[in-house]
Copies of this chain bind each other. A is one copy, B any other.
């Protein structure tokens, strides 16, 4: 099992037939034929360490990934180092689709925890589009879902106050996590630092800290063991004036 840069590639441990994610109610049923195809083109699995870079801006990755387990975040940098986190990736999410379609990666992805990724060659996309229109549709749907999340984040950063933003972000992440079974223990622990929150909300670290403290003082969250725990998810949503995810079952490639 070769290992470098916190990444180690292995051949398959999971067949798509016994995928641990697919049974979750968040994902739609697949046709037998679709499952066979996905299983065929799955190339292997990639384990990445916490803190490792999965994809880097400017590169041309030959691969496309689906998160099997673990958390990651997607970000861009300005030339002077200012960082903006665009979104988070969790089990069932596709990583690297933009790069696969458009050539060069326009953002980087870094692991927030140890992760296990399903690996696909980007080259399979044309074949998938030719032979499996249902899956092709699913991929567009997934891209569209990401766009919808970005719209929400943009609304948040642009028009919510610091306190509302923080409440929205934490409610958003924890809602998504719940749909993919990351709520093993209660309350759910989100493996991010306050610096991540700051870089997502467009705030400074110091001000983010003071804002998070207000959420704690209101009894909405806890912050401990280097992560965030949600106490009152409804309270967060109310504070942020956020309606919730409102998602149907989605495809899992």
Task: Kindly state whether residue A244 has any CB partner on chain B within 8 Å.
Answer: no
**How many monomers of this protein are in the complex?**
2
A241 at the interface (CB under 8 A from B): yes
Interface string of A76-113 (1 = CB under 8 A from B): 10111011101000000000011001110011000000
Residues of B within 8 Å of A249, CB to CB, are none
- CB pair A154 B150 closer than 8 Å: yes
Q: Which residues of B contact A107 (CB under 8 A)?
A: 151
Q: Which of A32-40, A132-140, A223-231 contacts B (4 or more CB under 8 A)?
A: A132-140
CB distance from A75 to the nearest CB of B (A): 9
Docked complex Cα distance between A147 and B126 (Å): 20
A143 touches B133 (CB 8 A): no
B84 touches A159 (CB 8 A): yes
Distance in angstroms between the alpha carbons of A139 and B136 in the assembled complex? 10
* Of B82, B98, B133, B134, the contact of A148 (CB 8 Å cutoff): B98
Find the B residue at minimum CB distance from A247. B102
Q: How far is the CA of A140 from the CA of B170 in the complex (A)?
A: 29
Give chain A interface residues in 171-185, CB to chain B under 8 Å.
none
Per-residue CB contact flags for chain A residues 152-169 toward chain B (1 = under 8 Å, else 0) read 111101111000000000
A179 to chain B, nearest CB (A): 16
Q: Which one of B79, B136, B158 contacts A136 once the chains associate, using CB atoms below 8 Å?
A: B136
Q: 25 A-B residue contacts at CB 8 Å?
A: A76-B155, A78-B155, A80-B241, A84-B158, A84-B159, A86-B154, A86-B155, A101-B137, A101-B140, A101-B144, A102-B144, A103-B248, A125-B137, A126-B133, A133-B133, A133-B136, A136-B140, A143-B144, A143-B147, A147-B147, A150-B150, A153-B154, A154-B154, A154-B157, A157-B158
